[in-house]
Amino acid sequence: MPRNPRRSEIVAAQAAKKSPDSPFDFLSNQHIVYGLIVVFLLLYIITGVWMFGLLIGLSIVWVVVLEFAQGTKEHGLKDEIKETFIALLLALLVWFGASFVLNTSSPLNAIVSCSMLPHIQRGDMVVLSGDRVQAAQEEVSSLADISRAQVYEDGALVATVNGSMYTYCATRQQSEVCKQFISSPGKFIEKHGELTFAYEKCGIVLDKTHETVYGPCVSYLEVNGNRYGTNLSNDVVVYQPSKDEYYSRVGDIIHRAYIRLYSKEDGKTYFLTKGDNNPIFDIQVYDEKLGEGNSPVLLSRSKGRILVSVPYLGYFKLFISPAAIPTPEGCDRHYTKWDTN
């Protein structure tokens, strides 16, 4: 039976007819999406607006979707799943190979905070090594009672507080002792067991206004009569806080090791750490609302020291973690003691 010529014409016309262009058709072009990632990255670095970071994260996910769809179209779903599995397997082999060579369970990490400014920038990707950490070592009888601080002003005991005088006065700035601490921190020291922390007044530059303000910060740590200030030759370490510590809420911590402490009580080695852009040591941090502080870093909790830092690459890890995208506190300021001009 001969075909209906009119029906054939209708089918041909429908096949040739194009669907109306969508304003989002350009998003199916991988090269355009890659270009958007670059543009959003530059805008995020320049402005610090978290929305650009979120757009980068969404763009990265979308590129993966496009790559998978294109591969499925060209080779079929089964082959694309196979190739994806092989790629993931190779990535795991590289990761575990690097872990073995560098002697660490976490050979790569991204800088999330600004606590190490200006020496390590937020968004840097760091390569870790699990070999010996460079820092001076002291022996102490015990580290069991260092969470509370006995505070002295001009040699007289004025308070006993959790964490430190710095965190104690964060919510009591109008008390007389805190007014004195804020105006003349050099008169104060804290004793945490066998450890003594001294304070000084530090200049802080607000980057947006270029205004310099002043506030208390630790000037040195004293152990067994030996004083230890900031030593930039000491290694920066990555460690995982215990679950009951305040810093466990933010994941891995990347701070400078100031000193190694060998406790004769338990025969274990610990680190005391501090961010270069922080006013106090990690063990001096205490949140009164949560009732949580931090402990010395047990050697076994250290993931390694920073071997090398690569600028900007760490941002891509941050952008796929929405909680890490907003700019954290402290990124808009730095201590004048690091200025080289």
d(CA 286, CA 282): 9
Look at the block and give the residue holding tokens 């669907």. 19
Q: Which pairing describes strands 136-140 and 253-263: parallel, antiparallel, or unpaired? A: parallel
Residue 176's pLDDT is 94
Integer CA distances (angstroms), 39 to 42, 48, 257, 288, 331, in order: 5, 13, 37, 42, 22
What phi, psi does 42 have (nearest 5°)?
A: -65, -40
What rounded mean pLDDT belongs to the chain?
Answer: 87
Q: Place 98 in a pLDDT band, splitting at 50, 70 and 90.
A: confident
What is the b/e burial string over 299-322, where b = at least 16 CB atoms within 10 angstroms of the residue's CB? eebbbbbbbebeeeebbbbbbeee
SS (H, E, C) 282-312: HHHCEECCCCEECCCEEHHHEEEEEEEEECC
Residue 24's pLDDT is 59
Q: Place 21 in a pLDDT band, splitting at 50, 70 and 90.
A: low
Residue 10's pLDDT is 52
**Tens digit of each residue's pLDDT (9 = 90 or more) over 222-231:** 999 999 998 8
Residue 84's pLDDT is 82
Residue 65's pLDDT is 87
Provide the residue type at 280 as one letter. Answer: I
Lowest mean pLDDT among 10-14, 98-102, 112-116: 10-14
**Tens digit of each residue's pLDDT (9 = 90 or more) over 153-187:** 999 999 999 999 999 999 898 899 999 999 999 99
Residue 27's pLDDT is 74
Does the structure show a pLDDT above 80 at 85? yes
What is the full DSSP assignment across 9-66? HHHHHHHHPPPPPPTTGGGG-HHHHHHHHHHHHHHHHHH--HHHHHHHHHHHHHHHHH
Q: Place 144 in a pLDDT band, splitting at 50, 70 and 90.
A: confident
**Tens digit of each residue's pLDDT (9 = 90 or more) over 202-257:** 999 998 898 999 999 999 999 999 999 988 999 999 999 999 899 998 889 999 99
Q: How many CA atoms lie within 13 A of 338 on its CB side?
A: 17
Contact residues for 296 (Cβ-Cβ < 8 A; gap 6+): 143, 146, 261, 270, 271, 272, 283
The residues spanned by each domain of the chain are: 25-102, 125-338
Integer CA distances (angstroms), 282 to 53, 152, 246, 298, 330, in order: 29, 20, 10, 13, 15
Query: Is pTM, for the whole model, over 0.85?
Result: no
Share of the chain above pLDDT 90, in %: 50
Helix, strand or coil for residue 4?
coil
Does the structure show a pLDDT above 70 at 5? no
Section 51-57 average pLDDT: 84
Residue 247's pLDDT is 93
Provide the residue type at 205 as one letter. Answer: V
Residue 325's pLDDT is 67
